[in-house]
Structures are given as structure tokens and as C-alpha cells.
Structure 1
Amino acid sequence: MARRAKRLWTDEEKRSICFQTTAAGVSVAQVARRYAMNANMIFKWLRDPRYAPTPDAVEDVAVEAPCFLPVEIVDRPRTEYTVPPPDPKSGQGTIEIDVAGGHRLRIIGAY
């Protein structure tokens, strides 16, 4: 069994990771998973005054309300990559989303 090398975090990295736990709707476990570390390590850092975010810094964080993104429905000619239209009897439908870089996301599923 391979042994992991101990990671060393700089003080600035610890402060940054601890600060991320102050965002609305974000848990310590989520931040820990983001950095592939144990949440107990973050809780330990949060108890240390060198790394714990100050209350005034937490108040300065602008919390944006959730919002919808604009969507445009375009009627365009079919290309060779487009799947055939769904069969209403099968109960399946398709959604195609063109994203940046010319990539296309295709979702096929039941109604």
C-alpha cells in the first residue's frame, strides 16, 4: 500500500481555505473535499486565530442572490450530428446545449 506524502500548507493557503468556509451555503466538508483533505484539519485551523477569518472580513463578502441565466431558443437547420426527432410514443426527449469552444452537450432522457 502506497503511503501519501504529507502536504504542507502555507499560512496564506490556510487563511484562504478557512475563508472559503464563510461563504453562504458552503460547508466545511465541501471545502475539504475541494482540497482532498479531512474536514477536521480545517476545523483545527479555524480555532487558530492566525487562520480564522475575522468577523469584519466575513461581512465584506458580497452575497449575491441566486439568479437564472438567459436562455435563447433557436430554430436552426439540423446538422449531421443532430439526433432524429423524439418519438412521442417512446416518452423520450432530447436537449442539446451548445457551449463555449464549439462543444455541444446532448441530454437524452425520458419525459
Structure 2
Amino acid sequence: MARRTRRLWTDEENRSICLRTTAPGVSVAQVALRYAVNANLTFKWLRDPKYRPKPGTGSEDVGLRFLPVEIVKEAPVIRQMPATDNHIEIDLADGHRMRISGSYYPEALARLIRGLTV
């Protein structure tokens, strides 16, 4: 039987995870799941003044942005988009297609793709 080891989080990691819970529309459970932390532990950190985000600070201060996402059933006819329109189409392994148009942050797009392929 394998021994379970306890994950030790640094104070900075605790603060960062707690700060992520302040983003609009994000639940503590979602943040905890993303970082593989028990939600109860995250709530415990939020009660601790050492880790609790200060009023007025939010995820916008650490450069987080949520992008609007729309999941639609693919149309049977696929049209070619001109290269000058600044569009990206990505066919995912599960058969879904992701279309991005307009400006985007390449790093944020890479994180999104990694998150979708996990």
C-alpha cells in the first residue's frame, strides 16, 4: 500500500490561490479543484488574515482575464475564412472545434488549450 504524502504549500502559493477566489463569477470550489486543493482547506486559508486577500485587491491585479466562450454544435458546412481576418481554428482531439477571432494573448490561449486537453 502506497503512503500518501501531504502537499506543503508556501505562503505565497496560499495567497495566490486565495486571490484567485476573488475573481467575479468564480467559486472557491472551482479554484480549489484547479489547484488540486481541498475546498475546505482553501476556506480555512481565506479565514486566516495572513492569506486573506485585502479589500480592493482582486484577480485583475495579477493579470487574470476571463474570455467569453460559446460552445455551439458544428454546422455541416464549413466555410474558409480569409487569412486577413485574424482567425484561428483548432480541431480538438474529442471532435470539437475551437474558433478564436480578433486579438488574443498567445500565453492565455496556450493555457486554455492545455486545460481543454487534460
**Superposition TM-score, scaled by structure 2 size:** 0.54
Percent of aligned pairs with the same amino acid: 54
Tell me the SS of whatever aligns to 1:33: helix
Amino acid at match of 2:80: V
Q: Find 1:74's aligned residue among 49, 70, 80.
A: 80
> Partner residue of 2:85?
none
> Partner residue of 1:27?
27
Q: Distance in 2 between matches of 1:20 and 1:59?
A: 6
Question: Would you tell me which structure has more helix in proportion to its own residues?
Answer: 2
Q: After superposition, what is the alpha-carbon deviation per residue over 1:46-71, rounded to whole angstroms, capped at 9, x for unaligned?
A: 001110001121285589686479xx
Amino acid at match of 1:74: Q
Report the CA distance between 1:105 and its aligned residue. 3.7
1:1-111 paired onto structure 2 within 5 Å = 1-58=1-58, 61=61, 67=68, 73-74=79-80, 98-99=89-90, 104-105=91-92, 107=95
Tell me the SS of whatever aligns to 2:43: helix
Alignment coverage as a number of residue pairs: 81
RMSD of aligned Cα (Å) = 3.4
Q: Distance in 1 between matches of 2:92 and 2:59?
A: 38
Q: Can you give the 5+ residue segments of structure 1 that lack an aligned partner in the other structure?
A: 76-96
Question: Would you tell me which structure has more strand in proportion to its own residues?
Answer: 1
**Superposition TM-score, scaled by structure 1 size:** 0.57
Quick check: 1:98–1:105 contact (8 Å CA) kept in 2? no
Larger Rg: 1
Runs of 4+ aligned structure 1 residues displaced above 2 Å come to 58-69, 104-108
Report the CA distance between 1:25 and its aligned residue. 1.2
